[in-house]
Amino acid sequence: MLEFGQHLGGIIAVGQELDFRAFTCGQHHQTHDALTIYLLFVLLYENVAFIFVGDANDHRGRSGVNAHFVLHDQFFDVLARGRSGFIHRLGGLVKAVNVCGGRVACNLKQRCHARLTMSKFAVIVPCRLESTRFPRKLLHLVRGKPLVLWVAERLAQVAPEWSVFFAVDDHLLFDCLKQAGFQAIMTGVQHPSGTDRIAEANRQIKADYVINVQADEPLVSRGQIESLATLIQGKAPMATLATPFKRVVDFYNPNQVKVVFDKNGRALYFSRSRMPFSRDLGLTIDDAWVQSNPCFKHLGLYAYHAELLEKFAKLPLGRLEQIEKLEQLRVIENGYDIMVGVTEDPTIGVDTLEDAKKFEAWLK
């Protein structure tokens, strides 16, 4: 193994250049070669930034290697996003500076910390082609673009530092995502729920914590993902989100799942029925009642410990799960806790063609 200190003394100061060609050990690397280098930066200065100052053929008067091993043009984004790759265009020299600027420059102290934390996490989006209520909805075109790509692009926008994978059951979905530059994993068609599909995908990914974003939730927010990441690092092996109902017509809609939870945020039950039910008012409640007596709509966003994912896939289908057709009930029926966080971020879950029209109207 080549050590950093062999060539650079182990330390780079502000204003000093860092020559990545040193790591080629004097060898010539053809453009088709692949050379991967892993570096650990321990940053002792709050506002360090790095900028490119040379290209691959600029040897600064040295007997350098004509090395078309060069860095990705978003090298320091790689530290945050967990992506990799080479572009034979930019150079192998970077310089430490004390102000952020230039083409590849950033405050790395916080972003490196974030990357170390995110390395334990993965966002996995389960994708089933033949959904029951809205067949092939993930390929339904909204303004000429498949719904699943709206979700993929939304995640790239709001959570660029996260590793995101789409667990799909059909090559139509796989090809759609891969051609657009997103990571897709083929999974079996037999899975009874999205959680089972995620469990299969995570056997390849091997994340410690998994965030489950639904492929029909095109307005997922950064705050929602961060809330789940916080909740899942507690004692409960599973977490989810809810948002207050605003309209009684939505509260009555069986496609909008309700959740009730205790004062500590632990889920008590999920149902398509109205919960809680006002004994005194019965079916006469209105929007004002719903808003003054908070009733919560469950959002299809989850987080899991990897251990629970594996156990979940082996648990028998729950009796209540099969009646309500709600996979999260399998967890409660088997004695595991689910923590619920509350979000006010707007959301549109696309379960029907009418929902797709609402999303398209929202885009306007």
Q: How far is CA 51 from the centre of its chain?
A: 28
pLDDT computed for residue 26 by the predictor:
47
pLDDT over 70 (residue 313): yes
How buried is residue 92: exposed, middle or buried, by Cβ count under 10 Å (0-12/13-18/19+)? Answer: buried
Place of tokens 């405050």: 107
Distance CA 257, CA 340 (A): 14
Distance CA 4, CA 89 (A): 24
- Provide the mean pLDDT of the chain: 77
pLDDT computed for residue 71 by the predictor:
40
Tell me: the pLDDT tens digits for 228-246?
A: 999 999 999 999 999 999 9
Higher-scoring residue by pLDDT: 77, 304: 304
Q: Answer yes or no: are the C-beta atoms of 21 and 92 closer than 8 Å.
A: yes
* Sign of the CA dihedral running 275, 279, 281, 282: positive
Please name the residues in contact with 191: beta carbons below 8 A apart, sequence gap of 6 or more: 128, 169, 197, 200
Say which CATH superfamily domain 120-363 falls into.
Spore Coat Polysaccharide Biosynthesis Protein SpsA; Chain A (3.90.550.10)
Distance CA 198, CA 123 (A): 10
pLDDT over 70 (residue 39): no
Largest CA distance in the chain: 87
pLDDT computed for residue 15 by the predictor:
54
- The region of weakest confidence among 52-61, 125-134, 152-161 is 52-61
Domains of the chain, residue spans: 1-108, 120-363
The mean per-residue pLDDT over the stretch 38-57 comes to 51
Place of tokens 């182990």: 10
Angle, nearest 10°, between helix axes 306-314 and 194-205? Answer: 130
Distance CA 83, CA 51 (A): 19
User: Sorting pLDDT into bands at 50, 70 and 90, what band is 252?
Assistant: very high
Place of tokens 């995110």: 118
Six token digits for residue 95: 């310089």
* Sign of the CA dihedral running 316, 131, 299, 121: positive
Nearest CA-CA partner of 63 in 95, 35, 28, 89: 28
Q: Quick one: what percent of the chain has pLDDT higher than 90?
A: 54
Distance CA 194, CA 304 (A): 13
pLDDT computed for residue 91 by the predictor:
35
Give the DSSP letter of residue 124: E
pLDDT over 90 (residue 87): no
Q: Answer yes or no: are the C-beta atoms of 83 and 71 closer than 8 Å.
A: no
- The region of weakest confidence among 28-32, 124-128, 276-280, 321-325 is 28-32
Six token digits for residue 66: 């004509």
User: Sorting pLDDT into bands at 50, 70 and 90, what band is 133?
Assistant: confident
